[in-house]
Amino acid sequence: MREWRRHLHQYPETAFEETQTAQFVADRLTEFGLEVHRGLGKTGVVGTLRAGTPGKKIALRADMDALFIQEHNGFAHRSRHDGKMHACGHDGHTAMLLGAACHLAKHPNFNGTVYFIFQPAEECRAGAKEMIQDGLFSHFPADCVFGMHNFPDIPTGHFAVKSGAMMASFDCFEIIIKGEATHAAMPHLGNDAIVAAAQLITALQTIVSRNLNPADAAVVSITQIHAGDTWNAIPDTVTLRGTLRCFKTSLQTEIADRIQHLATGICAAFKVSVQTVFNPENLGYPVTWNSEAETALARQAATAVVGMDCVDLHPVPSMGSEDFAFMLQEKPGCYLWIGNGPSANSCLLHNPHYDFNDGILPIGAAYWVKLVETVCADAEKQFSL
């Protein structure tokens, strides 16, 4: 698994371009004796393993894509693709699921079917949604689906999992403000879109602090401002881009409505026009919501691997988002975190110094194996009752 992981780290591929990664995964699955399906969701790979008598159909998912980040590490397995890097640990996720597939193929101590889903384009391109629209669960009719992500600052050898909201929703917005350009020395002859934008940016911060219930966690952030290209001219257009995140679907709508209302009202007051667009390029992700029964099974498997004291059952949900949420909208399931160790050593996710902790590869693979055995044993028990 360490060799696989470091190979993948050296050759990172970004969303929907994971052709070499998909080939690597498909070759390993074929070596293990699994049925292999390629091309689902453009570059996705699904391996199928059946064992014993017909029973539960369980899907396990790992993401394969990298990020557009220039790696700053100096070790031998650093990225060889300039400007691209596995800065979120998807190389490790892929290696752990391959390790589980290898073990289960050699030791099929379960009754049922396992679908090993290797998904492209998790980072902002909704590869999970693409696979679903391409017939993922029609071709591979899983009863439940499970995901896992490494998490810096959770200790090595630990897991964290809870039912309900585990990760926040993710919505993007773009606000285009159009005024009337003029000489910077003569602002009275135009309508200043920049001043309107500044007022709007400040006002947007009141949505969370003054419009939402303080008990409901949410974030509204402006992440881009584009306007003008010279010193002595007030431009006619300002473009703002940002993101909103929360743990309730109802809040997604409420926050979006408030953004729209503030943009319209403030721009009208400054006599400039405005256009607000939500989720351009289909960027939005829903809340990652774990179902209770499947979370109990995940907790049972994690506890069997690392012990009860090493499984955090009350983690604080993350404002980060995850497109595995699309799969959880289709099937009951659970998404948990595996500790990657102190961020002082491995650094934080999406950081140019990040590296996946190879020491947790056997822990993650063991969790997948135990989960399959747990889910299929649970189904067998229910059937016998």
- Report residue 378's pLDDT band, with 50, 70 and 90 as the boundaries: low
Rounded Cα–Cα distance for residues 153 and 150 (Å): 10
Which of 24-60 are b and which e, b meaning 16 or more Cβ less than 10 Å from the residue's Cβ?
Answer: bbbebbeebebebbbebbbbbbbbbbbbeeebbbbbb
Average pLDDT over residues 55-62: 97
DSSP 8-state secondary structure symbol assigned to residue 210: I
In this predicted structure, the answer to whether residue 25 has a pLDDT above a threshold of 70 is yes
In this predicted structure, the answer to whether residue 38 has a pLDDT above a threshold of 50 is yes
Position 124 scores a pLDDT of: 84
Position 283 scores a pLDDT of: 75
- Report residue 381's pLDDT band, with 50, 70 and 90 as the boundaries: very low
- Report residue 345's pLDDT band, with 50, 70 and 90 as the boundaries: confident
Position 322 scores a pLDDT of: 96
Position 385 scores a pLDDT of: 33
Instruction: Count Cβ atoms below 10 Å from residue 382 Cβ, excluding itself.
Output: 9
Cα-based distances in Å from 6 to 92, 100, 221, 273: 8, 17, 35, 51
Percent with pLDDT over 70 in the chain: 98
Q: Are strands 171-178 and 273-278 parallel, antiparallel or unpaired?
A: antiparallel
Percent with pLDDT over 90 in the chain: 95
Position 49 scores a pLDDT of: 98
Amino acid at 335: Y
The sign of the dihedral angle between the CA atoms of 301, 366, 28, 5 is positive
Average pLDDT over residues 280-296: 92
The per-residue pLDDT for range 62-110, each reduced to its tens digit, is 999 999 999 999 999 999 999 999 999 999 999 999 999 999 999 999 9
SS (H, E, C) 137-161: HHHCCCCEEEEEEEECCCCCCCEEC
Average pLDDT over residues 138-162: 98
Average pLDDT over residues 293-315: 98
Position 284 scores a pLDDT of: 87
Q: Is the Cβ–Cβ distance between 340 and 331 less than 8 Å?
A: no
pTM of the model: 0.92
Rounded Cα–Cα distance for residues 241 and 124 (Å): 15
Rounded Cα–Cα distance for residues 80 and 103 (Å): 30
Average pLDDT over residues 35-50: 98
Average pLDDT over residues 31-45: 98
Position 346 scores a pLDDT of: 72
Burial of 214 from C-beta contacts in 10 A (0-12 / 13-18 / 19+): exposed
347 or 155, which is more confident? 155
Q: Is the Cβ–Cβ distance between 193 and 272 less than 8 Å?
A: yes
**Average pLDDT along the chain:** 95
The per-residue pLDDT for range 177-190, each reduced to its tens digit, is 999 999 999 999 99
Average pLDDT over residues 112-130: 96
Average pLDDT over residues 253-270: 97
Query: 3-state SS of the chain: helix, strand, coil percent to 5?
Result: 40, 25, 35
- Report residue 383's pLDDT band, with 50, 70 and 90 as the boundaries: very low
In this predicted structure, the answer to whether residue 228 has a pLDDT above a threshold of 60 is yes
Q: Is the Cβ–Cβ distance between 284 and 172 less than 8 Å?
A: yes
Position 193 scores a pLDDT of: 98
In this predicted structure, the answer to whether residue 133 has a pLDDT above a threshold of 70 is yes
